[in-house]
Structure 1
Amino acid sequence: MADVTLLVMGNTGMPAWGQDQIRRLSEQARRRGVTLVGADTPENLRSATARDLSYVDDVVALDVHHPEACRAWAATRPPVDAVLTVRELSVLPTAVIARELGLAGNDPDAVRRVRTKDLCRQRLREAGFPQPRTAVCDNAADAERFLSETGPGPWVVKPRDGLASIGVSLIDGPAQLPDALRKFHEPSAAMSPLPASPYFLVETFVAGDEYSAEGIVLDGEPQVLSLTRKAVTEGFISTSQQQPSGLDEATDLLARDTVARGLKAVGITRGIFHIELWVTPSGIVLGEFHCRGGGDFIHALVEHTRPGLELYGTLVDDLLGRTPRPLPAPARAARVDFLFAPPGRLRAVRGWDELVRHPAVLAADLQVRPGDVIPPEKDSFTRSGVFVTGADSADELDGLATRLAGGVVFDTEADDEGVPLALAENA
């Protein structure tokens, strides 16, 4: 019988990559003799699958998105030895529970700072890091004033505390603001656990190649495990992620050092992290910070490229005060690719089964089915499919991923609202 208990905040209702994170966490924690208690909202627990529930030993109904509800629950002194989450909207409640129970965790004020993007940028500026100029707005007039002061553009309009590219727009001028604000105000199921905020951000656009840093803080020191090269649409929706990043050695070292210093500057002292960044002609510019691992199966890339690494087991060891195992060296390559069906009613998907059976495919999830109405691309939750490939070297991956994606065909036709007929191959 395990002698320690780990509380997992938000263990059901995940996208495919979140489910895979929970699976790996469960396996790695149980190998360490840890009992897992899953905490989630009553609604999520009622709709949980048998597979969801198999990853934990017990469950507790808790509003895992609201700090005060979690603080009140923690005040009952539940028998918990460590607490963590893989869910963005639960990082602050997780920190609150850790603080209330005297467990290892991040300072809730630091987590709140990271979740509120303008506050994070301000702290980084104060510490000497280059950052885009940012305005917090609650109306179009405020935004127009910022645009006039910071031209010629472009600019990014985004939520203060969003995720998954929800409500994010790139604009060239004031004429595009109304559409951007309509997008910002559109309801989102992913953000529905939190109250809608009237505030949005307008930022000057950073021109550079996009990457992210994946790692873990051990004994107070950030360990950057990998840098990820990413490709995105004009609407900032990720289309692929790849490790290793392909950066030259000097830029790689600079990015790692910048990320580590940035984490210390904003006050993050525990846990897995995912930090977005740009490589620009003038250096590294840090983007959004996350006190949890990256989505989009990035965790699978990290573990595949470092054979033998147990990312979540390492986190569990650290939270419990145990000495983590040595971090394995990087030795392989991996990437994740997303597929996009054209808008319309989906009639058929061809080639998916062949993709799934390929020996280089580490994970795959088809997120649409025949009969579904495919909406226009809006955010990361409107992508149609995802697959992860692994290889011994990066040279093998690009061509392989292109061939596999090109073999999948989405056959769509006009729906009742007149979306045009389309047939898409994912080249």
Structure 2
Amino acid sequence: MQVFVFDWTAYSENVDKFRENGKMIRLGKKHFNAKTAVDTYKNHAEAWQELERYGFDGVAINEHHGTPFGLGNSPNLMAAALSQLTERIKILVYANLLPIHEPLRLAEEIAMLDCMTGGRFICGVGRGAPREYKIFNVPMSESRGRFNEAFEVMRRAWTEDSFSFDGEFYKFDDVSIWPRPVQEPYPPIWVPLTGSKESIEWAAAHDAAITPGVFPGPMREDTIRYFAECQARYGRKVDPNKISIMVDCYVADSKEQAVDEYGSHLMYLFNTLLRYDQVWQEDVKKKGYYSSTAFEHLRNGAKGTLAEDDTVFNEWSMDTVRAAAENMPLGTADEIVERIIAECDDAGANNVLLVCNRGDIPHDMYLNQIRRIGEEVLPRLQAHNVTFVPHAQFEQAAS
């Protein structure tokens, strides 16, 4: 099993101090601490080098804008820096948000990164959160069309000597990029699937690796089933090496200690960072971000997907943390290994993205988690090999 650490690179200073009458305000220049940002980037780069020293397979970074939730406004910049600080570890940008960027420029940057990493780059692509469309003034109704066209531009730029493209959103006449990717035909494509039918169909059509759903349960199971059905149309079976799941974990000497040490940082994540300047789904539904058939393949409809506010944005208390911890890999190394392997086996995922640095976790705590996971958990996860995708097998047998 491949083990990555997913790192949002959150602004390391707690911004709750800027609340007014208990409510978080829009943060501006006067609230920004340049030294905090400098330290955030420096400390995370140090942590990523520690991941390589301890033998992790990869680090995952992503793209968000205008929020202390993550300072990865340009994850390709961070990947470029990391490419020169490491020699072995894979670098997954999960993901470049295609609809809000110029695709030819992205194709060039990704080709550069594949060269700079010597072929260690993994190309995640996504549509992005609704708040990104608000920031970049891109109509949400154009999201799907822009995503599809952007990737086609990138694919052709990587694989053809020269090409022309005449789309609704992008037009190019006889262009050719230089340099080209190291990996053939281009870096592996990974895509997060948060429930919508069209994204699953796109992933299958392009034989992309997937991360099906944020949480275990019916939505993830149905996503895998439908992905298997779509893959079968192309004569392919679902490969566990192309499925990953994301798992929060924290190693301590006991579950109680894990909750005590990590709980406040989880609360800060849910109560402040995830909610900051959010575009709520009640408004998203009016903007055409999801099609009318987006969730018809799911037995519970949109329930369990990011299309519902209450699946992610509920207020958390320490009681919430304690209740959640009963079913999460928070606690001893033995419990963490058992829970992660069980969840990977259920999803048929031979890749796991660990999250162990939520919210405003201090740098020394993050490094301690890397070291403890690296010594007590990582070897046992890497020794486990998932070869069977239960929900995909069910679909294939039925068909």
| TM-score for both structures, normalised by structure 2 | 0.28
Taking structure 1 as the reference length, what is the TM-score of the superposition?
0.27
Structure in which a larger fraction of residues adopt helix: 2
- If asked which structure has higher relative contact order (CA below 8 Å, sep 6+), I would say 2
Higher share in strand: 1
